[in-house]
Amino acid sequence: MVRAIKISILLFFIHGNCFYATNKVDSLKLLLEKDSILRCDSTCFYICLDISYNSKSPSEKLFYSKLAYNYGIRNKNKRWQAGAKFQHSYPYIKQGNLSFAIKVLLEAESLYIECNNLEGVATCKYTLAEVYKKNNNFKLAESKYKEGICLLNNLDNSTLLSSCYLNLGELYRGIKQYEKSLVCFQKSDSLYHSLNDLYGIAYAKGNIGLVYVAQNKLDSAQIYLKKSISILEPLGDNYAVSSYLDGLAEIYFKQKRYTKAKTTAHKSLELAIEHGLKEQIKDASLRLATIYSEVGKYKDAYLYKTQYINYRDSINNAETIRKIANLQTKYKVAQKQKEVDEIKAQKQYYFVIAIGLVIIVALFLILVVIMIKNNRERKNANKQLELQHEQLEKSDLAKNKFFSILSHDLRGTVGVFGTLAEIIKFSIQQQEYDEIEPLVGEMEKSSKNLLDLMDNLLHWGVKQMSAVKSVPSFVKVDNVIKKEVNYLSDIASKKNISIQAEIPADIELFVDHESMCIATRNLISNAIKFTNAGGTIRVSAQRDSKKVVLKIMDNGVGMDPEKCKKLFDFSEAKSTAGTMNEKGVGLGLQLVCGFVKSSNATLKVESEVGVGTTFIITFTNNNIAPVMKTKVKEPAILQ
Read off the pLDDT of residues 110-136 as tens digits, 9 standing for 90 and up: 999 999 999 889 999 999 999 998 888
Instruction: Quick: pLDDT tens for 305-352.
Output: 999 898 888 877 655 555 555 555 555 555 666 777 788 888 888 888
Alpha helix segments (H runs only) across 552-616: 561-565, 588-598
- pLDDT over 70 at 268, yes or no: yes
Residue 543 lies in a domain: yes
Q: Are 144 and 129 in contact (CB under 8 A)?
A: yes
Give the whole-angstrom CA distance, residue 288 versus residue 268. 10
The residue-averaged pLDDT of 473-487 equals 88
Give the whole-angstrom CA distance, residue 43 versus residue 80. 12
> Which secondary-structure segment (H or E) carries 615?
strand 612-619
Instruction: Quick: pLDDT tens for 340-383.
Output: 778 888 888 888 888 888 999 999 899 889 989 888 888 888 88
Residue 45 lies in a domain: no
Cα-flanking dihedrals φ and ψ of residue 190, to 5°?
A: -65, -45
- pLDDT over 60 at 87, yes or no: yes
CB proximity list for 321: less than 8 A, separation 6 or greater: none
pTM (2 decimals)? 0.48
pLDDT of res. 344:
80
Q: Name the domain count of the chain.
A: 2
> How distant is the alpha carbon of residue 38 from its chain centre?
44
CB proximity list for 249: less than 8 A, separation 6 or greater: 261, 262, 264, 265, 268, 284, 287, 291
Residue 415 lies in a domain: no
Considering only residues 565 and 400, tell me which one the structure prediction assigns the higher pLDDT. Answer: 565
The boundaries of the domain holding residue 270 are 257-316
> Which secondary-structure segment (H or E) carries 612?
strand 612-619
Do the strands 498-502 and 536-543 form a parallel or antiparallel pair, or are they unpaired?
parallel
pLDDT band at 39 (very low <50, low <70, confident <90, very high): low
> How distant is the alpha carbon of residue 357 from its chain centre?
42
Q: Which of 384-393, 465-474, 552-561, 570-579 has the highest mean pLDDT?
A: 552-561
CA dihedral of 242, 247, 251, 253, whole degrees rounded to 10: 70
The residue-averaged pLDDT of 589-597 equals 83
Instruction: Quick: pLDDT tens for 500-532.
Output: 999 998 889 999 888 888 889 888 988 888 898
Residue 165 lies in a domain: no
Q: What three-state secondary structure class fits 526?
A: helix
Q: Is 581 left (phi over 0), alpha (psi -120 to 50) or beta?
A: left
- Whole-angstrom CA distances from 603 to 483, 512, 569 are 22, 16, 14
pLDDT band at 407 (very low <50, low <70, confident <90, very high): low
Alpha helix segments (H runs only) across 96-217: 98-114, 118-134, 138-155, 158-174, 178-195, 198-214
**What is the DSSP code (8-state) at residue 546?**
S
Give the whole-angstrom CA distance, residue 164 versus residue 144. 10
Give the whole-angstrom CA distance, residue 81 versus residue 147. 22
Q: How many CA atoms lie within 13 A of 157 on its CB side?
A: 23
Other Cβ atoms closer than 10 A to 583? 16
Look at residues 301, 296, 267 and name the one whose alpha carbon lies nearest to residue 284.
Answer: 267
Last residue of a domain, one of 269, 293, 316: 316
Q: Angle at the Cα of 382 (from 378 to 386), degrees rounded to 5?
A: 165
- pLDDT over 80 at 37, yes or no: no
Q: What three-state secondary structure class fits 449?
A: helix
Instruction: Quick: pLDDT tens for 142-157.
Output: 999 999 899 888 888 8
Considering only residues 443 and 47, tell me which one the structure prediction assigns the higher pLDDT. Answer: 47
Residue 125 lies in a domain: no
**What is the DSSP code (8-state) at residue 619?**
E
Task: Choose the weakest-confidence range: 54-58, 98-102, 270-274, 631-635.
Answer: 631-635
Q: Which amino acid is at 309?
A: I
Residue 300 lies in a domain: yes
Q: Are 598 and 586 in contact (CB under 8 A)?
A: no
pLDDT band at 97 (very low <50, low <70, confident <90, very high): confident
Rg of the chain (C-alpha set): 50
Q: Average pLDDT over the chain, rounded to whole?
A: 80
Order the strands of the 548-554 sheet from edge to edge: 498-502, 536-543, 548-554, 612-619, 602-608
Last residue of a domain, one of 300, 316, 332: 316
The residue-averaged pLDDT of 573-589 equals 67
Q: What three-state secondary structure class fits 318?
A: helix
pLDDT of res. 266:
92
Give the whole-angstrom CA distance, residue 305 versus residue 292. 10
Q: What three-state secondary structure class fits 276?
A: coil
pLDDT of res. 402:
53
**CATH number for 613:** 3.30.565.10
The residue-averaged pLDDT of 226-252 equals 91
pLDDT of res. 18:
33
Give the whole-angstrom CA distance, residue 427 versus residue 473. 51
Q: Name the burial class of residue 373, with classes exposed (0-12), middle (13-18) and buried (19+) by CB atoms within 10 angstroms of its CB.
A: exposed
The residue-averaged pLDDT of 270-298 equals 90
Last residue of a domain, one of 316, 351, 386: 316
pLDDT band at 478 (very low <50, low <70, confident <90, very high): very high
H helix and E strand count, the chain: 21, 7
Give the whole-angstrom CA distance, residue 621 versus residue 510. 10
Q: What three-state secondary structure class fits 633?
A: coil
For 280-376, list the strands marked E by DSSP: none
Residue 57 lies in a domain: no
Residue 375 lies in a domain: no
Other Cβ atoms closer than 10 A to 504? 17
Q: How many CA atoms lie within 13 A of 493 on its CB side?
A: 9
- pLDDT over 50 at 164, yes or no: yes
Give the whole-angstrom CA distance, residue 433 versus residue 448. 24
Other Cβ atoms closer than 10 A to 255? 13
